[in-house]
Amino acid sequence: MRPTVHDIAAAAGVSLATVDRVLNQRPGVRHVTREKVETAIRDLGYIRDVAAANLAKGRTYPLVFILPASDNSFMHGLNAEIRQAVLRSPAERTDIRIIEVPAFDPAALVSVLEGLSREKPCGIAMVATDAPEVRAVVDRLVRERFPIVTLVSDLTGSLRHHYAGVDNIAAGRTAARLLGRFLGPRKGEIAVLAGSMLVRDHRERLEGFAAVMAEEFPDLAILPVLEGRDDPEVAHRLVADALGNAGIVGIYSLGAGNRGLIRALKEKAADRTLTVVAHELTAHTRAALIDNTIDAILNQDAGHEVRSAIRILKAKADGLAVIAAQERIRLDIFLKDNLP
């Protein structure tokens, strides 16, 4: 049977109020009395249940999610998952706020983080733009004891506490293997559509993709990356222009902007000679899988990422350990045959 605060009080010969003051590091306890209580805690092997203590005290955790504001179906889905978490707030004792910043804009992200440093929330989850000025402010906030989790896209070399997202190098490698195997003995060029090389997830996906292509599919040449800013209209224009190249046999869409990609494919590649691998299962990419416009989708569970970020921020606020296996975000591969 686990020892309780009553056992500590009895062993130390003090009141429950005194035990509570020692556990919560509050003043008003003589040094000799504090030592008696701490000795009793060690001798009894008492482990404090911080979550239960916070529940009893009715503690609420103010959390902030920072997302890019863009016409991006995946980010819309991520936003929807956070709003679902807001609905669960009474049960989870959270107070969640969403702040949107312009996509791929380090200065805007820094400005928001600087403002939050004055508000002092219990934790911050953010889709990171990987830039030195963002890293600098994140490191300063962590040193000032702000729990920070990066979401979907990580921040290179920063002091952030945790990354809630898939292994993007592995995702890029997986995309290359799928595309290469689908194409078989065909030779030709591969078009790559990204959002921006300012975000680490896109750079890492490209790194993994290029490595496998060079190692195992040397007859497939990767063309210069098209940066569509995750904007469907920009993506449509870039892909439509690229498809004027008769040598293209495959496309890897490693970011968002897939609505524009799909529209360009339907306009230009009705004969389905192209093999296409993309990221994120949305209503649009689901329909494109079903009608054979896209061959495979690599997906990350936005809901799992949001729930993971909340668990980690609460644990960090309480000084508790994180269960690594619980927070591992899985990379799913969907074909038209195994859609959920």
For residue range 250-269, what is the model confidence (pLDDT) as tens digits?
999 999 889 999 999 999 85
What are residue 231's phi and psi, to 5 degrees? -105, 120
What pLDDT does 6 receive? 87
Average pLDDT over residues 180-197: 96
Kindly give the interhelix angle for 200-216 and 168-183, rounded to the nearest 10 degrees: 40
Which one of 15, 30, 48 terminates a domain?
A: 48
CA gap 63, 253 in Å, rounded = 32
Whether residue 339 lies inside any domain: the answer is no
Same domain assignment for residues 76 and 138: yes
- Give the pairing of strands 61-69 and 123-126: parallel
Whether residue 316 lies inside any domain: the answer is yes
Same domain assignment for residues 185 and 287: yes
Same domain assignment for residues 311 and 238: no
- Regarding predicted confidence, which is higher, 49 or 125? 125
Whether residue 197 lies inside any domain: the answer is yes
Same domain assignment for residues 158 and 195: no
Contacts (Cβ under 8 Å, ≥6 apart) of 29: 18, 21, 22, 37
Question: Domain of 89?
Answer: 58-164+302-327
Same domain assignment for residues 43 and 146: no
Whether residue 53 lies inside any domain: the answer is no
Checking if the pLDDT of 334 tops 80, the result is yes
What pLDDT does 46 receive? 80
Whether residue 128 lies inside any domain: the answer is yes
Same domain assignment for residues 150 and 235: no
Same domain assignment for residues 94 and 189: no
Whether residue 64 lies inside any domain: the answer is yes
Average pLDDT over residues 288-303: 97
Same domain assignment for residues 204 and 286: yes
What pLDDT does 91 receive? 86
Same domain assignment for residues 190 and 224: yes
Same domain assignment for residues 139 and 199: no
Positive/negative CA dihedral, 263, 265, 271, 276: negative
Among 69, 245, 47, 85, which Cα is nearest to 164's?
A: 85
Q: Which residues pair with 163 in a beta bridge?
A: 150
Whether residue 239 lies inside any domain: the answer is yes
Whether residue 336 lies inside any domain: the answer is no
What pLDDT does 203 receive? 96
Checking if the pLDDT of 201 tops 80, the result is yes
Whole-number mean pLDDT of the chain? 92
pLDDT more than 90, % of the chain: 76
Same domain assignment for residues 268 and 231: yes
What pLDDT does 49 receive? 61
Same domain assignment for residues 276 and 306: no
Query: Which residue is it, tokens 């508000």?
Result: 119
Domain count, the chain: 3
What CATH number did the domain enclosing 234 receive? Answer: 3.40.50.2300
